[in-house]
Structure 1
């Protein structure tokens, strides 16, 4: 028995070394999760124009926010969006159409701010160049359906593909490492291996019947660093995801969650509410921070990995705060398995014509609106 214990300890130690011993793990940038209320909250809290307190962005539940806006005339809603676009645009529970309007205003405000900085000769040339690049980036977001927009740090965003209020079903895509405001829809030769590309591909595969939210709404790891091996960023992201889903529920009913790579850790840590989530799909997952699928209260699917997906080389361990537990595609995890024929690589599971994309569309279309 002692020898078995020693062998098990040695195996766990070797797995940890495998996780931490790769050079890129140590060299990647450590990230601090973006938490708390959105920019502009101080001015929002000080606003007494309506004669009543506005719901606090840091503590009000989405249901409370929804009830507050439901009691306002349309003109007062619009006035709040114009005066406080970054708060309203990121306020879970606010009406969807109002959030889209507010974020359009917030993007334009931030674009103009960066354009002014780009022309400020008192700033160092590097800062001016960075500001010009941001202004161009924000210009590219004009006329997009943004459910969230936060330019702080690496930036966060949520874009809607389709119509949340009228399409038959809704899916939410939760991305993994290296996804932020600048990269979520970066140009791609494949066209379906970025977060926005995955969203477009899923919507098209559904026959444009499923509204898809591409949610880059949490601080993701950068590279394959220590952050990617631990779950602190996932824990912070899970809280933000839970608020998003609670805010959407009155409009969309239950949604299907598609969780890619480290995003599957976020979904695993979020403990999805069956009243809000019809099911969770783990795609290219290094583990969900769980030992078994039935630790969640909703059905869990896992996509069989294709031969070119490097995540299959990640050790499925959970030791001293590193690793994400059982392989979701293993028999021990007990998830429902989905095919991956026709996919390729870590980001290729949403490839048109693949068996995985067809399965995703079928699941999204069968997500029910009743708990």
Structure 2
């Protein structure tokens, strides 16, 4: 037993060393700092409850949708004006009402954009929508990895808009920075605590889409975002789950994700993620490579993508495949 423990500890230390070296050498990221996930009811809930309104934490997205359906338009607007921080973040509330509420709380930061959620707490979270989420036949949600927050959305937005463009604008695409991501490389990125908190929020978000009649989405889960999707898979309301540049999904195989969604995986040969040993020990590491032959995911061609962020680059085989998956045509 002692020999086994030493061997496993050696493997995890090697994994941590290689991860740090790979990222520092190819992406220039710094060592990570510990993050506390933002969870629970939206900001402003105390005033909402004090006004005698239904407790957001006690309402499912389905119940929220029914509550707002029973209100007149004037009352809805009154609530959005008086409690924008709550209404703007209630999964299941009418989409247009959430956009209007978040326009008040987000201010000029996202001027002219459709902001489906905005939470200024911590580093900030934001969910942006490109296209007509209410009417689109197909919906895609891009779930990001480390270093993404309300003040640092550039890479996520580029991925989302590139995917929408690749579908000819037919698919509504959501840039979902709706959880507390790791910062840099450190224990947060190697552990699953932030991913577990993010998984709960992603599940509720997809339930909210269903509650307002939006199409069941395809999830494109990049890097640490694929850990989030892996932990959410057995509960999330999604048609497809695509693990992109994944360090692992905290499952031994696609079957162990216990999902009815189709599971896909993409990794290009120049991505530093390929240098990360796929081990899991004492809560660190995320398990097997989803692109491995034994995992059982459908492979997405990614030979012409470049680096860790190149999968959504216009003209690449990976982006064309993503567009086909988003539109439900890939097999």
TM-score, structure 2 as length reference? 0.92
Cα-Cα RMSD? 2.0
Name the SS for the 1:147 alignment partner. Answer: strand
Match for residue 322 of structure 2 among 360, 364, 367:
360
Q: Which residue of structure 2 aligns with residue 327 of structure 1?
A: 289
Q: 1:301 aligns with which of 257, 261, 264?
A: 264
Q: CA deviation at 1:153?
A: 1.2
Instruction: Choose which of 291, 312, 337 in structure 1 pairs with 2:274.
Output: 312
Contact 2:138 2:217 in 1 (8 A): yes
Q: How does 1:123-138 map to 2 (within 5 A)?
A: none
What pairs with 1:102-181 in structure 2 (closer than 5 Å)?
A: 102-108=101-107, 139-181=108-150
Aligned residues: 319
SS at match of 1:214: strand
SS in 1 for 2:173: strand
Structure 1 unpaired stretches of 5+? 49-53, 109-138, 186-193
Of residues 157, 161, 175, the one that matches 1:196 is 157
Larger mean Cα displacement after TM superposition, 322-331 or 290-299: 290-299
Q: Does the Cα contact within 8 Å between 2:137 and 2:215 map onto a contact in 1?
A: no
Cα-to-partner distance string for 1:125-182 (whole Å, 9 max, x where unaligned):
xxxxxxxxxxxxxx24112100000111100000001110112200111100000011
Alignment pair present for 1:32 and 2:1 = no
Q: CA deviation at 1:301?
A: 0.3
Pairwise CA distance, 1:12:
2.7
Tell me the SS of whatever aligns to 2:314: coil
- Seen in structure 2, the aligned counterparts of structure 1 residues 20 and 343 have a Cα distance that, compared at 3 Å, is closer
**CA displacement at 1:252 relative to structure 2:** 1.4
Residue ranges of structure 2 left out of the alignment (5+ in a row): none
Which residue does the alignment assign to 2:62?
Answer: 63
Structure 2 matches for 1:178-327, cutoff 5 A?
178-185=147-154, 194-250=155-211, 251-273=213-235, 276-296=237-257, 297=259, 298-303=261-266, 305-327=267-289
Counterpart contact for 2:30–2:184, Cα < 8 Å: no
Could you tell me whether the CA contact under 8 Å between 2:136 and 2:215 is conserved in 1? Answer: no
- Distance, in Å, in 1 between the alignment partners of 2:60 and 2:13 is 42
1:231-283 CA distances to partner (integer Å, 9 max, x unpaired)?
A: 00000000000110000113213110100000000000013447x21010000
How big is the shift at 1:27?
4.4
Whole-angstrom CA distance in 2 between matches of 1:166 and 1:106? 25
**CA drift at 1:328:** 0.4
**TM score, norm. by length of structure 1:** 0.82
Query: Distance in 2 between the 1:94 and 1:140 partners?
Result: 22
Q: How has the CA–CA distance of structure 1 residues 322 and 9 changed in structure 2, closer, same or farther, with 3 Å as cutoff?
A: same
Distance (Å, rounded) in 2 between the aligned partners of 1:336 and 1:364: 14
1:99 aligns with 2:95: no
The alignment partner of 2:58 has SS state of coil
SS of the residue 1:342 aligns to: coil
Counterparts of 1:332-343 in structure 2, within 5 Å, are 332-343=294-305
Query: What CA distance in whole angstroms lies between the structure 2 residues aligned with 1:345 and 1:333?
Result: 23
Give, in angstroms, the shift of residue 367 of structure 1: 7.5
Quote how far apart the aligned CAs of 1:208 are: 0.3
8 Å CA contact retained: 2:117, 2:125 = yes
